[in-house]
Amino acid sequence: MISGKNISIAAVLLILGIMLSWQYKSLNERKAVIEYENKREEQLKEELQNEKANNELLAIQIENLRDEIGQYQAAQGDIDQNLALLNKELDYVKMIAGFYPVKGKGVIVTMDSKPSGEYGKMTENDVLRVINEMRAADIQAISVNGERLMATSEIKEAGGYFIINGRQVLPPIEIRAIADPSNVEYALNMTGGLLKRIEAYVDVSIKKSDEVLIPAVRNIGTVVRTDLMIPVQ
């Protein structure tokens, strides 16, 4: 009889436990929904669009990676073929990383303070803003006065000249970018755009070109430093 009692208690406790965990689970799910409760519908639509775009990008990456895996698989056992594939990948990554000089269609933007100097001088901020505007116009490589710009390149003013990648650079500033030239021109010249705001004191010229040359990063050891970083596997 004792064991019968135990069984019924056990059963009751089990049911109670299941109920609790079920409630907890649905509470957690709801929490995720409640997170969106205070957002406006437009915000939600935008977020949904963002998430969808993210997933599309991921799908493309996955497809590309599958292709690459296919190539490496096909090359299995063939050492030469394998090295060729690795070399190809390394070359590509070095090219976008800025380790090779590159050429292509693009623009050359020149800027300097207006000679009169009546409304002030060109500052590092003006240069930074033009570069930023160009970067946002889907460029593929960029340099300033012969210095390839990396993610960690600085542009600092120092009394009449600028320091870029640790090197002194004198105005005029010449920015070269490989990109769809009309994209860049449009981004800079837009009504109410950047150039309109700085034209009072900065002269800017935009030249489109079918072949813009962009140098490799000058000194990989000093400009690109990674000694404080370790990659995460």
Partner 1 sequence: MKDKIYKTFILIMFLIPGLIIGACLGSVTGRYGGAEMPGVVNPETERHNELAELILAEKEKNTELKLLLKDLERTKADIIEGTGTGEELRKELYNVKLAAGFTEAEGPGITVKLDDADYRKGISPGFLVIHDSDVTAVLNELNNAGAQALSVNSERIIAISGIICTGPTIRINRSRYAVPYVIHAIGEPEKLHYLLDRSRIVSLLRKYGITVEINKEKELRMPSYRYGISSLVTGLEVDTN
Do the beta carbons of residue 172 and residue 111 sit within 8 Å? yes
| DSSP structure string for 49-87 | HHHHHHHHHHHHHHHHHHHHHHHHHHTTT-HHHHHHHHH
Whole-angstrom distance, CA of residue 67 vs CA of residue 57: 16
Asked if 218 interacts with partner 1 (CB under 8 A), we say no
Asked if 137 interacts with partner 1 (CB under 8 A), we say yes
Q: Compute how many residues bind partner 1; rule: CB under 8 A.
A: 108
Return the range that interacts with partner 1 (CB under 8 A); candidates 76-84, 111-119, 167-175, 199-207.
76-84
Asked if 150 interacts with partner 1 (CB under 8 A), we say yes
Element (H, E) at 213: strand 202-214
Min dist. Cβ of residue 54 to partner 1 (A): 6
Min dist. Cβ of residue 115 to partner 1 (A): 26
Whole-angstrom distance, CA of residue 115 vs CA of residue 26: 70
User: Of 11-70, which residues contact partner 1 (CB under 8 A)?
Assistant: 12-13, 15-16, 19-20, 23-24, 26-27, 30, 32-37, 41, 44-48, 50-55, 57-62, 64-66, 68-69
CB atoms closer than 10 angstroms to residue 99: 17
Min dist. Cβ of residue 16 to partner 1 (A): 4
Q: Give the pairing type, strands 167-169 and 173-178.
A: unpaired
Whole-angstrom distance, CA of residue 161 vs CA of residue 171: 6
Min dist. Cβ of residue 132 to partner 1 (A): 5
Min dist. Cβ of residue 172 to partner 1 (A): 20
Asked if 167 interacts with partner 1 (CB under 8 A), we say no
Asked if 132 interacts with partner 1 (CB under 8 A), we say yes
Asked if 76 interacts with partner 1 (CB under 8 A), we say yes
Asked if 154 interacts with partner 1 (CB under 8 A), we say yes
DSSP state for residue 170 in the 8-state scheme: P
Asked if 136 interacts with partner 1 (CB under 8 A), we say yes
Do the beta carbons of residue 206 and residue 213 sit within 8 Å? no
